[in-house]
Each structure stands twice: as structure tokens, then as C-alpha cells.
């Protein structure tokens, strides 16, 4: 597992790194089912920490335990040294939680919602009025803050939901998928608010998402969780360097199926596929791979009509980490795109990444990340629209 617990260098703005969140073998079981199957990690004060994973991975369950909403079945967790079970009251004072589902009264305006929740938190008078103005200034709803939330766009509702979590100036802010269903402009706005809170107020942020590119852009460090287990933990850059692979796409005029095996044998190529006139060459080091690939194509007098390099990113880190962890998923070998019976060809124009899923469940989970999946003969069938998804 790509886990690096040395986070001392990853706090923002040079603040001293101190673990403000610590979890030890945290487990949550529903009956025999482990929604969270024993996770351990530390988050330094001042970090923006991303908890990444597909639907059902255990993100909400993990942060619900940290936020004192769910008692762990086993293991322990502390926030600023306070135990989330024994010292739940103290922990609640230190944290803010922005839940995955919008938790606002639709008939009230954002301002009135803030007043209501502020009173619930025990705030009142001038202090509450000041906190409401501060929270509204962060989310910048302008005059919309005074009309009922039911009339807001999805992005505005998300911003109002965020404001509630800020009211009592938490030291640790949990944000559970705060950008689901928002347009790019609102997403940018939410990102900027989070970055400002982290930079100017020193708020530690724990951010769950299944959007890999969000975590890459926002987080100092990420934990990748799947099936209730942490499968990778490090800075996005280190994970990408360690596990990420880039893809070189070469569009050819001629048939390139005969190139798959010779190119796959080149160093540092990991695998090659040929689909719809495009060779997809997966490699850890696109720069180093390019010269021998081009040499080989030139020696065969093959003409490249288009060349594209896709940089390694957290999405293929997830896939690589998963490949190591999940026995039900195998990494396909270099091939020409013609699998056995029951094998599904990738969508046209896909990078041709080959993952063979033994269980439709695994394939579905990967598809959440938008990667093409090839289903092994005999595996339960996926619904057809799933095959259409691509990165």
C-alpha cells in the first residue's frame, strides 16, 4: 500500500505540524458488514486533507465517526487530543460538519437558517449577528442571502450549507462531498472559500470527494479509501510519482495491432492496446518512453497523424492502488483489444486501459471514476449504459 505517514512537511504556510486528527484502527460494522474496516491515519493541524473514494467506500461513515455522529464499533479517534466518544461534547465544540445532504430549511433564507442553527449552537446577540455576517461574507450570496433557500440553484444551496458549518468558527471542518451537483463556477467559489479559511484562519479541512481532480487541486494530502479500507495515503504529488501512469495516444493511418507486443516490450512501457486506429501506450515516464516508441514506428515506416500525452493523475493512482489491493480485479496484459467471449470492447476513443473485473460490483465502482472496464467472460452483466462512460 502506498502509505506515507510522514506528513510533517505537508502543512500549509509553514505552520508547525501537529496531529489534530488521529484515528487508530477505526471500524464501523453494520451487522457483519464492515462499512469501515479498520482505518488509521493522522491529519496535521492546518492541512487540507482529502478522503477520496468511490460511492460506498466508507467516506461518510469515517467522518461521521470523527464528527461524533456515529459510535465506532472498534478502534479510537481523537480531535485535538479529545476522544470522539468519551469527550464528544468537547469535540463538537471544535468541529464543523457540512453534511453530504443539504441540511437547510428550504422555506427560510440563508440568513434565517444561519440564525436558527447559530441559536442551536448556543450563539446569540451581537456575537451571532457578527458570525452570520462573517459566514455570509465567505460564501458571497449577496442579496440572495435574504430569500428562501428553496429558490436557490444547487450551487447556492451548497454554499449556504457550507456557511452553517462555519458559524461557530471550527478548528476542524469536515466537508462531505460539498461540490456534488454544482456547476464549475460555484465549485470554484467553494474551493476559494475553503482555501481562504485554511490560509487565513488556519482551519484544518477534511474533504471527502469522489472527484479525483478536486483532491489533486485542493488537498495537501489524500487518503484513498475503498471497501472501507485505506489503500493509499500521501501527498497527491508523491502518489502520482509512485503509482501514477501516463498514457501516450498515437493515431496511425495504418493498422497498428501488430505493434502492441513490440511496443509493450520497450522500457519503460507498462502496457499497450490498439483500438479504433489509436495506440494507447501506458507508461510511468512518457518522456523516456517516447523516443524508443517513435524510433520503432519510424523503423516500420508508419505515419503518426496525431500524438497526445495524458499526464499521470490521481485517477490512475486510484486504479493502480486498487489493482494492488483488490483481488477481484486484475490488470490486463498488453493486448490488441480483442478479448475472449463476453469481453466488451472499450468505447471508441477511450485510452484503452484494460481492467478485467470478475465482479460487476467492482466494475461499477470503477465506472464511478469514469474509466473503461472490460468484463471477464462469465461475470455478471453490467447494464449497457455503464459501458458508455469514459474519462
Q: Summarize as ranges the residues that interact with ligand ATP (CB under 6 A).
A: 30, 35, 53, 55-61, 100, 210
CA–CA dist 54, 220 (Å, integer): 20
Tell me which of Mg ion, ligand ATP, none is bound by residue 57, counting a contact when its beta carbon lies within the kind-specific cut-off of 5 to 8 angstroms. ligand ATP
Cβ closest to ligand ATP, residue 233 vs residue 289: 233
β-partners of residue 77 are 23
Q: Which three three-digit cell numbers place residue 304?
A: 503518426
Cβ closest to Mg ion, residue 135 vs residue 182: 182
Cβ closest to Mg ion, residue 36 vs residue 136: 36
Provide, rounded to whole angstroms, the least separation between the CB of residue 61 and Mg ion. 8
Which of helix, strand or coil describes residue 264? helix
Cβ closest to ligand ATP, residue 55 vs residue 146: 55
Cβ closest to ligand ATP, residue 10 vs residue 365: 365
Tell me which of ligand ATP, Mg ion, none is bound by residue 58, counting a contact when its beta carbon lies within the kind-specific cut-off of 5 to 8 angstroms. ligand ATP
Provide, rounded to whole angstroms, the least separation between the CB of residue 19 and Mg ion. 24
Candidate residues 21, 44, 53, 60; the one interacting with Mg ion per rule CB under 5 A: 60
Should residue 78 be labelled a site residue for Mg ion when binding is judged by CB under 5 A? no
Tell me which of ligand ATP, Mg ion, none is bound by residue 55, counting a contact when its beta carbon lies within the kind-specific cut-off of 5 to 8 angstroms. ligand ATP
Cβ closest to Mg ion, residue 40 vs residue 100: 100
Tell me which of Mg ion, ligand ATP, none is bound by residue 337, counting a contact when its beta carbon lies within the kind-specific cut-off of 5 to 8 angstroms. none
CA–CA dist 104, 158 (Å, integer): 10
Angle at 27 between CA 24 and CA 33, to 5 degrees: 160
358-388: string of b/e by CB count within 10 Å (b at 16+)? bebebbbbbbebebbbbbbeebeebeeebbe
- Count of H helices and E strands in the chain? 13, 18
Provide, rounded to whole angstroms, the least separation between the CB of residue 351 and ligand ATP. 24
Please report where in the chains the cell 453494520 appears, as a residue: 30
Cβ closest to ligand ATP, residue 30 vs residue 125: 30
- Which residues neighbour 1 within 8 Å (Cβ) at sequence distance 6 or greater? 230, 231, 232, 233, 321, 324, 325
Tell me which of ligand ATP, Mg ion, none is bound by residue 61, counting a contact when its beta carbon lies within the kind-specific cut-off of 5 to 8 angstroms. ligand ATP
ω into 178 cis (within 30 of 0): no
Provide, rounded to whole angstroms, the least separation between the CB of residue 144 and ligand ATP. 27
CA–CA dist 80, 243 (Å, integer): 32
Should residue 64 be labelled a site residue for Mg ion when binding is judged by CB under 5 A? no
| Binding residues for Mg ion (CB under 5 A) | 59-60, 100
Amino acid at each position: 500500500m502506498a502509505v506515507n505517514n510522514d506528513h510533517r512537511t505537508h502543512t500549509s504556510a509553514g505552520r508547525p505540524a501537529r496531529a489534530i486528527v488521529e484515528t487508530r484502527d477505526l471500524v464501523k460494522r453494520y451487522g457483519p458488514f464492515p462499512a469501515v474496516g479498520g482505518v488509521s491515519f493522522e491529519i496535521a493541524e492546518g492541512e487540507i486533507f482529502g478522503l477520496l473514494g468511490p460511492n460506498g467506500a466508507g467516506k461518510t461513515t469515517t467522518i461521521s465517526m470523527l464528527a461524533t455522529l456515529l459510535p465506532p464499533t472498534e478502534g479510537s479517534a481523537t480531535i485535538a487530543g479529545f476522544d470522539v466518544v468519551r469527550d464528544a461534547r468537547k469535540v463538537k465544540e471544535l468541529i464543523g460538519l457540512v453534511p453530504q445532504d443539504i441540511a437547510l430549511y428550504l422555506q427560510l433564507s440563508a440568513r434565517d437558517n444561519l440564525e436558527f442553527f447559530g441559536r442551536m449552537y448556543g450563539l446569540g446577540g451581537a456575537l451571532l449577528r457578527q458570525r452570520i455576517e462573517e459566514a455570509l461574507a465567505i460564501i458571497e450570496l449577496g442579496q440572495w442571502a435574504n430569500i428562501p433557500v428553496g429558490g436557490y440553484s444547487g450551487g447556492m444551496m451548497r454554499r449556504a450549507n457550507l456557511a452553517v458549518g462555519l458559524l461557530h468558527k471550527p478548528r476542524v471542518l469536515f466537508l462531505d462531498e460539498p461540490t456534488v451537483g454544482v456547476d464549475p463556477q460555484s465549485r470554484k467559489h467553494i474551493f476559494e472559500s475553503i482555501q481562504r479559511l485554511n490560509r487565513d484562519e488556519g482551519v484544518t479541512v477534511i474533504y471527502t470527494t469522489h472527484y479525483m481532480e478536486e483532491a489533486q487541486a485542493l488537498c495537501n494530502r489524500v487518503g484513498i479509501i475503498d471497501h472501507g479500507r485505506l489503500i493509499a495515503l500521501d501527498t497527491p504529488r508523491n502518489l502520482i510519482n509512485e503509482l501514477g501512469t501516463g498514457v501516450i495516444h498515437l493515431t496511425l493511418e495504418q493498422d497498428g495491432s501488430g505493434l502492441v507486443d513490440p511496443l509493450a516490450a520497450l522500457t519503460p512501457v507498462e502496457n499497450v492496446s490498439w483500438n479504433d486506429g489509436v495506440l494507447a501506450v501506458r507508461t510511468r515516464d512518457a518522456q523516456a518512453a517516447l523516443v524508443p516508441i517513435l524510433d520503432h514506428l519510424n523503423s516500420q515506416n508508419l505515419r503518426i497523424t496525431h500524438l497526445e500525452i495524458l499526464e499521470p493523475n490521481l485517477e490512475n493512482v486510484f486504479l493502480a492502488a486498487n489493482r494492488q489491493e483488490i483481488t477481484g480485479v486484475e490488470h490486463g496484459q498488453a493486448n490488441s483489444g480483442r478479448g475472449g467471449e463476453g469481453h466488451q470492447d472499450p468505447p471508441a476513443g477511450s485510452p484503452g486501459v484494460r481492467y478485467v473485473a470478475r465482479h460487476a460490483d467492482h466494475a461499477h465502482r470503477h465506472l464511478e471514476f469514469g474509466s473503461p472496464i472490460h468484463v471477464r467472460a462469465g461475470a455478471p452483466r453490467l447494464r449497457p449504459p455503464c459501458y458508455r462512460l469514459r474519462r
